[in-house]
Structure 1
Amino acid sequence: MAMIDPSPTDLPEAQITLHRFGHEREPVVQIDGFSGRVDALLARGRAADYSPAGAYYPGLRAPAKPDYLVPRNPLLAEVMRRVFGFGQSLRCEAASYSLVTLAPGELSASQRLPHYDDTGPGIIAVMHYLLGPESGGTAFYRHRRTGFETVTPERKPAYHAALAADDRACGAPAAGYHYGDSDRYEMIGEIDAKPDRLILYRGRLLHSGVIPDPDKLSDDPVKGRLTINMFLEGA
C-alpha cells in the first residue's frame, strides 16, 4: 500500500470556492489542491480489492483510509463551522474508493435518476476527484414536479409520491446515466472533476455523477473512473 505522510510539510495552498446553486442556495464547497498526494492516493486505490457496492451505487467500492485528511483537519473544521454551522464534533462515517462500472442498460430505475444520500442535516457528502474532467464531475438538480432541490425528512413522503407520479406520467426512466435537463429534473449546477479537487455538500441535495463517456467505464481501477467518497457527520 502506498505510504502517505501523516504530517507533510509541503501541502499545497488550498483554493476554496463556495457555490450556492438553485433557489434553495444550499452550500457546495469546492477545495482545490486538497491533499497534495494524488499519486499516492491513486496508487492505493489501484491496489485495492473491490466488490459490488450494492443496490444504489452503479459499480464497485473498496475501503479507503481517511488518514490523509488529518493535515487538513483544521481547514475542514473551519469549513464545517463557517459554512455548515457545525461545532467541534466531526467524524468520518464512511470512506471508500469508488468505480462507476455499469453500462447504461444495466442500471436500475433508481440509478437512472438524480438521488439524495441522506435526509439528515448533519450528514455531509464528500467527493474527492483523483482524475481530470474527462472522468466526469457531479451535477445538482431540482425536481420539477415538487420544486425540491433537497430532500429533508419532512419532504421525503411527498418526494417519493411525486416520483411515482412521474413514472405514471412519463413512463420508466430511459436507460442511461442522467445528465442535464429532462421532463423530471432541471440541472441547477455542475462541478467538473479535477485532480485533487474535493467537494462537500449536505447529503440531502439531489445530485448525480456525470459520466461523459459510458463506453469508457471500466472495472479496472487503473483505467476506470476512480474517486474517493466519504460521509462526514457533524453536530
Structure 2
Amino acid sequence: MYAFNPKAQVQWLELGQSRTRALLIDDALTDLSLIRQEAMSATFRQDQGSYYPGVRAELPQAYARCLLEALYPLLLQLVQPPPEYRLIPQQWYLSLLTTPAAQLLPLQRLPHFDKAEPLHLAILHYLADGPHGGTGFFRHDASGLEKITPAQQQAYFSQLQQQLAAQGGAAAGFPAAQTPHFTLYQQLAYKPNRLLIYPGHLLHSALVEPDTDLSADPRHGRLTANLFVQFQPKR
C-alpha cells in the first residue's frame, strides 16, 4: 500500500523575481520500495506526445491517488483557485531520461514551460537514489519573463525565434547555466523521495548530468514520477 508520510517536511518556496510560490516536500512517502518495484516491471516507451527527452511508462493509479489525496489541501493553498473550480488530473507518468545530448531536438535544448496557465501544476517526485541532476528554473533575459501567460505566449515565442535564428539555432546540449538568452536563477537538487510542485507556466528544465542520468534502466537512471494537474471550472 502507498502511504503519504505524516512527518513529511513541507517547505514553501518563492521562486525568482516574480516570487512565484512552489512547494518542496522531503520524505514524501513512508516507503519508496513499492513504486520502485512498479517501475522495474513497467513498460517504458518513447513519448510521442511531448518533447520529453526519454521514455515514459504508465504511473500506477493507486500511487497517483495516494499523492493527490494527500496533497490536495496544499495544492489549494499553492494557487488559491476560485471556489467553483475543481482539480482535474491530466497526465501521469514514470519517466527516465535517455536521449544523448548530441541527439536532442532544438526545443529540447531550451528551458520550457508545460502550459501557459497559472492553475496548471507539475508534481515531480524523485524516486531513485542518485546522484542525479535536479531541476532548474530560468528567466528569459530579453523579456525578463520567468513564467508565460496566455497573453505573453505568442510574443515570447516570436522573440525567442528571432534570437535563435540570429545565432544559428539553439545551442548544443541540455539546458544549463550556460544556455544563451536565459538565466538559471534557482536550482533544486535531486533527492530520493523529494516532491517538487510548481506552476507549469514557469520556465524550467531538468538539469541533466549525462554521466549519471541517461539510462533506460530504472535501477540506474534518473527515475521520476510526473503528474500534471489543473484547477478548472466545474461543469
- The alignment's TM-score, normalised by the length of structure 2, stands at 0.90
For 1:108-187, list aligned pairs within 5 A. Answer: 108-132=105-129, 134-187=131-184
Larger displacement relative to structure 2 (119-128 or 99-108): 119-128
1:136-182 deviation per Cα after TM superposition (whole angstroms, max 9, x unaligned): 11100000111110111100011101111211332222221111143
Deviation at 1:216, TM superposition (A): 5.1
Deviation at 1:95, TM superposition (A): 0.9
1:45 alignment partner, SS class: helix
Is the CA contact (8 Å cut-off) linking 1:125 and 1:203 kept in structure 2?
A: yes
Determine whether 1:19 maps to 2:13. Answer: yes
Which structure 2 segments of 5+ residues have no match? none
Aligned to 2:52: 57
Is the CA contact (8 Å cut-off) linking 2:212 and 2:221 kept in structure 1?
A: no
Q: Distance in 1 between matches of 2:64 and 2:161?
A: 40
Deviation at 1:62, TM superposition (A): 0.5
| 2:77 pairs with one of 82, 86, 90 | 82
Which structure 1 segments of 5+ residues have no match? none
Aligned to 2:30: 36
What code does the residue aligned with 1:171 have? Answer: G
Percent of aligned positions with the same letter in both sequences? 31
For 1:213-232, list aligned pairs within 5 A. Answer: 213-214=210-211, 217-232=214-229
1:225 alignment partner, SS class: coil
2:79 alignment partner, SS class: coil
Q: Distance in 2 between matches of 1:193 and 1:78?
A: 24
Is the CA contact (8 Å cut-off) linking 1:61 and 1:97 kept in structure 2?
A: yes
Is the CA contact (8 Å cut-off) linking 1:35 and 1:69 kept in structure 2?
A: no
Is the CA contact (8 Å cut-off) linking 1:140 and 1:187 kept in structure 2?
A: yes
Larger displacement relative to structure 2 (69-78 or 150-159): 69-78
How many residues end up aligned between the 2 structures?
Answer: 229
What is the RMSD computed on CA atoms of the aligned residues? 1.9
Q: Distance in 1 between matches of 2:46 and 2:217?
A: 13
